[in-house]
Amino acid sequence: MKKKIALLLSALTLVIVFILFAVFSNQARFIESEDPEIVAEALHLLRSSLRNYRRTYIDFRRERSLPYGTSTSYALPQAAHGLNPDQSLYLAHGDMAYFVLSVDQQGLYQLNLEYLVEITTHSPSIFRVRINDESQFMEMDTIAMRMVFYDETKDFPTNTFGDQSPPLTRRRATWQRDYFHDTTFSTATPFLFHLEAGENIIQLTNIAQSTYIGELTASPPVPIQTYAEYRASTPQTAPAQTQTISLSGADYTEKNSADVVLTSINSVRATPVHPDMRLINAVAINEPGTAPTYEIYISENGLYALGLYAITSRVDFETFITVRINGEIPFQEFKNFNLHGNQRFDDLNFQILYNRDTGDPFFVYLPAGVHTLSITLEREPVMDISHNLRLVIEHVSQFVLEAQRITGTGSVDTTRSWNFTRYMPEAVPFLEAYRVVLQDAVYRLQYRTDAGVNADMLAETMIVFNMLDRLLEFPDDLPLHMTNLSGSINSVSALAGRLFGRLNHTQLEIDTIMLSTDPAELVGSGATWWDAFVYGAREVGVTFTSDRFNNRLDDEYLNIWVAQRSIMEIDLLQNLTDTHFTPQTGIPVRISVMPDMNRLIMSAAANEVPDLGIGLPSWMPFDLASRNALHDMTEFDNFWEVAGQFPPGSMVSYAYLDGMFALPESLEFQVLIYRTDIFDTLELPIPDTWQDVLDILPELQRYGMNFGHPLSWGGALKFLNLTWPFYMQHGAELFTEDGIRPLIAEPDGVQSLRFMSDLFMRYSLPLEVPSFFDSFRRGELPIGIVTSGLYRGIRSGAREIQGLWDIAPLPGIQQEDGSVSRWFMANGHAAAMFRDSEKLDEAWEWLQWWLSAPVQVQYTQMMSSSFGELFFWFPSNPEAWHTVAMSHEHRMMVMDQMHWMREIQRVPGLYMVERAISNAWSSIVFQGVSPQRAADRASTIIHREVRRKMIEFGFLDDEGNVIREFVLRDIDWIIENIEAARGDQ
């Protein structure tokens, strides 16, 4: 009995301790500030000692305390070929124009440009600007001119389940005027530039898509009045009756970016909402500087308070917005207004815009009539902190490189007395500066949240201070602890980087906007916890009753199964089909999520397959075709004419004997990615060939860095898309023309295998990289080959190195004629038709429609409209590539690289080729087997398995005699057929 009581008391004590810990660990905690002079000295030390430090706009405004300009000046563009009759100038990518602006007095001026973007694109026009041959701050390299977009309709398309999807976003192809901002929109108001008294030469270089430019204006900025001044200048009369206006967040009339997207908030508090249907009820603003604009009709003059029903993405941390009425900020307090953070990401909260000091709501005066209201997501209040964090990250990277000049790389001698400060006396001031700058950042950010430094945003960063204190306690032993600065997931650089990323990643979803002359009328939803419980129960019930999750085949429809796509992507495709294809053709279509792809072959044997399958992995069409499950598309008279739209190399793996059994639906790509900051510091060239890569490796490795190849992070099995490009670049062939005897043991094949293994044995590329994404961010692997998925991840997820990396063509093998062979495999997705379908003609009609350039352009734009510019769909039709949401330079680089895409010729038993080459590489690298012996062994294993599969599929008898000829088809055969079809036209 005593034992039980003791156990019970112990358990009760643990519960109490846990509760107390949970309560007190969530209490707000704040740290003290550093002396501002010490912070300024630390920042000066880091800036002055950082190579290639580039002055920011914040630095420029701090250093140049100039008065505002006093006059307005206008100028028309000048170039070698002069003005056209419309007084405008056409600038293609890379073209330059000049303006001569004369002002009466030197000072700070805003610049405003008239422009028209020619190409249909969702990306802003971008210019590099110089004033009197000077770059006053680094943001002048990327001055962005936003465009105006609108939704094609507000009658949202619905699918058969009643789900709504966003309409197509259209761009207004009209002349616009806009002030100069940078691409990150780091300020809520336009940039100010220093102009000298008299003539100033403004030079614009177009670094994006083709653009017409017109008049450039320089004008003094207009000061924004305070709220008190605003109220004193506006009428105080009130309407006879309370006026309340409610707007749906989805009801904007225009927006300045494709990153403003319609969305569906699934909450009982949202309006409208339904447990069984996805209804568009909100707008998501995904990037700073982006804004939706609404039209408001006011029936009576009056002072109106403003409230938002919204979700902020940063938990318990402020999100900043700027409110404009009729295009202007009415008073200072509406610039960078701080919305309170949610307690959880999925909270839909109602917030009135009010004075944080007095608790009184802000009022705007609106006379009767139509007005516009826009809400812009901002980052300006934390931009200087963001710059300081990035300064620390860049400086740590440089400091570690400099330290490694002294200590060397690799394993550090732990028995040696290093006396590191004797060789690098600036180490201690640098460490102290890191601590001061980071503490100042945390100190200023802690007041942006109710939890202080215990907020999710800041809690992890507090580890940095203890880490730096330990390094400062024993600075002479720094070489033993260099990974605490950079190189581990909890290093100073990594933690500062994660805070930088959180600080710059923000999102706002607005469900409802309300205005009222009586703030008491601005109230949120009256939904209770019981309403939320009932709504959740209905959602669960729907999963048992809805046809949404039913993949049954229906003879009345053209049945299409989609693999490897999200439900939302499939809904977009269903809606696009329902609103365009079916009305045009009368063919009803049902698009469903594909069941387990691995069971598709068995489903085909049981005749339980759809008419069409899309999103198939590139290897699947051959496996299905070899089992007589797919329809040979060459039986359609215009097949090769349709196939001529796509890169020939993307179709190689879809050939089987004399037929083609799939078409490419989407593509992937590979590029070389590199850190510009590190390569500039080390003064290294960007490699063009594999020999160039070998040439820069010693210098990289001298600093503890390396080149990243996907073989290092591809797992134990090295897939063919990682190994076979080496063979293609060396000119090696896979099989003899009959597809039976492998050729990988021939001289070209052995040379390919030798080079692929030498990279890791002789030249010491890392054998295992847990995450190239993290290694690239930390600078351990400042260069490497990435697929489109990794490129997308680095672009959207590694915000702390934004602007510090670029891409280049894949390195290749230089040929005898001087050209460089850059072949690579893309592993895109395919669309295939099933042989037993009774709707082959209908399926072919839909497939032609789906893969056509206009539809691919439309779907690509719909993806951007739905998910924002950070997400992109890479279509198989090259005519749609210009709509992919990438920078102009990167898009052109990728488009040029796609000419080298080439899938592998497939034979029965190809899986053994993949396995055998992978094992051969491993045996060379880890066991020291010679390349020739490894290739011979692999060739024997491959030949045995392919022969067995050839017998199974009826190409050979048991004795190995040919019964039915198997012929390999490569890219040349595809090109010949495409050109023959073009010749017949």
Which of 278 and 224 is assigned the larger pLDDT? 224
What's the average model confidence in pLDDT over 893-897? 90
Q: Is the pLDDT reported for residue 2 higher than 90?
A: no
Taking residue 513's Cβ as centre, other Cβ atoms within 10 Å add up to 23
Tokens 């001698």 sit on residue: 413
Question: Could you tell me the pLDDT band of residue 73, with boundaries at 50, 70 and 90?
Answer: very high
Rounded Cα–Cα distance for residues 366 and 372 (Å) = 10
Q: Which residues pair with 562 in a beta bridge?
A: 593, 614
pTM here? 0.82
Tokens representing 832 are 């295939």
Categorise residue 416: left if φ over 0, alpha if ψ from -120 to 50, beta otherwise.
Answer: beta
Q: Given a cut of 80, is residue 189 above it in pLDDT?
A: yes
Residue pair 523/350 in contact by the 8 Å Cβ criterion? yes
Q: Produce one character per residue of 237-264: b if its CB has 16 or more CB atoms within 10 Å, e if not.
A: eebeeebebebbbbebebbbbbbbbbbb
DSSP state of 3: H
pLDDT for 65 equals 84
What sign has the CA pseudo-torsion 468, 470, 476, 477?
A: negative
Instruction: Assess whether pLDDT exceeds 60 at residue 548.
Output: no
pLDDT band at 251 (very low <50, low <70, confident <90, very high): very high
CB contact at 8 A, 400 and 456: no
**Position 910 confidence tier, pLDDT thresholds 50, 70, 90:** very high
Average pLDDT score over residue span 802-820: 90
User: Where is pLDDT greater, at 423 or 686?
Assistant: 686
Average pLDDT over residues 18-34: 63
From the list 657, 658, 662, the residue with the least C-alpha distance to 843 is: 662
Cα gap 821→581, rounded to integer Å: 41
Half-sphere exposure of 282 (CA within 13 A, CB side): 25
**What token pair was written down for 823?**
């072949």
pLDDT digits (tens, 9 = 90+) for 356-398: 889 899 999 999 999 999 999 999 999 999 999 999 988 998 8
Contacts of 220 (CB under 8 A, 6+ apart): 68, 69, 70, 71, 72, 107, 108, 109, 110
Rounded mean pLDDT, 80-90 = 60
98 pLDDT above the threshold of 80: yes
Query: Bridge partners of 237?
Result: none
Q: Which residue has the higher pLDDT, 334 or 568?
A: 334
Question: CB 928: neighbour CB atoms within 10 A?
Answer: 8
Amino acid sitting at position 622:
F
Contact 443, 504 (CB under 8 A): no
Longest dimension (CA), the chain: 102
Is the CB of residue 335 less than 8 Å from the CB of residue 353?
no
> Counting beta carbons within 10 angstroms of the beta carbon of residue 98, is it exposed (0 to 12), middle (13 to 18) or buried (19 or more)?
middle
| Amino acid 156: pLDDT | 84
User: In this model, does residue 86 exceed pLDDT 60?
Assistant: no
How would you class 959 by CB atoms within 10 Å of its CB: exposed for 0-12, middle for 13-18, buried for 19 or more? exposed
Mean pLDDT computed over 749-759: 96
Contacts of 869 (CB under 8 A, 6+ apart): 122, 123, 257, 258, 259, 286, 287, 885
Closest of 798, 829, 808 to residue 894, by C-alpha = 808
Token output for 215: 């008049």
* 123: exposed, middle or buried (Cβ count in 10 Å: 0-12, 13-18, 19+): buried
pLDDT digits (tens, 9 = 90+) for 576-620: 888 889 989 999 998 888 766 666 666 666 677 889 999 999 889
At residue 556, the pLDDT reads 87
Inter-residue contact 510 to 375 (CB < 8 Å): yes
pLDDT band at 174 (very low <50, low <70, confident <90, very high): confident
Do 124 and 146 form a contact (C-beta atoms < 8 A)? yes
For the stretch 331-356, pLDDT in tens is: 999 999 999 877 654 577 888 999 98
d(CA 984, CA 134): 58
Quote the mean pLDDT of the chain.
Answer: 86
pLDDT tens figures, 770-788: 889 888 887 889 999 999 8
Six token digits for residue 632: 């040979």
pLDDT confidence bin for 85, thresholds 50/70/90: very low
Report pLDDT digits (tens) over 719-741. 999 999 999 999 999 999 888 89
At residue 270 the predicted structure's pLDDT band, cuts being 50, 70 and 90, is: confident
Tokens of 385: 């902190």
Q: At what angle do helices 427-445 and 492-504 cross, to 10 degrees?
A: 30
Beta strand spans in 772-833 (E): 783-787, 805-808, 813-814, 820-821, 829-833
Q: Is the pLDDT assigned to residue 23 strictly greater than 50?
A: no
Residue 254 has pLDDT above 60, yes or no: yes
The conformation of residue 562, written as its DSSP 8-state character, comes to: E
481-524 tens-digit pLDDT: 888 888 777 888 888 888 888 888 888 999 999 999 998 888 76
Cβ–Cβ under 8 Å, residues 50 and 430: no
The distance from CA 735 to its chain's CA centroid, rounded to whole angstroms, is: 39
Distance CA 169, CA 257 (A): 10
Between 487 and 815, the more confident residue is 815
Distance CA 610, CA 260 (A): 36
pLDDT value for 420: 85
Average pLDDT over residues 3-13: 60
Q: Which tops the pLDDT comparison, 148 or 522?
A: 148
pLDDT of residue 940: 95
Q: What is the pLDDT of residue 327?
A: 94
φ/ψ of residue 541, rounded to 5: -60, -35
The predicted model gives 297-310 an average pLDDT of 93
| pLDDT at 684 > cutoff 90 | yes
Q: Is residue 113 predicted with pLDDT exceeding 50?
A: yes
Question: In degrees rounded to 5, what are phi and psi of residue 644?
Answer: -65, -10
| pLDDT exceeds 90 at position 714 | no
Q: Taking a C-beta distance cutoff of 8 angstroms, is the pair 668, 788 a contact?
A: yes
DSSP 846-877: HHHHHHSHHHHHHHHHHHHHHH-TTS---BS-
Bridge-based pairing of strands 589-593 and 829-833 is unpaired
pLDDT at 599: 64
pLDDT value of position 80: 46
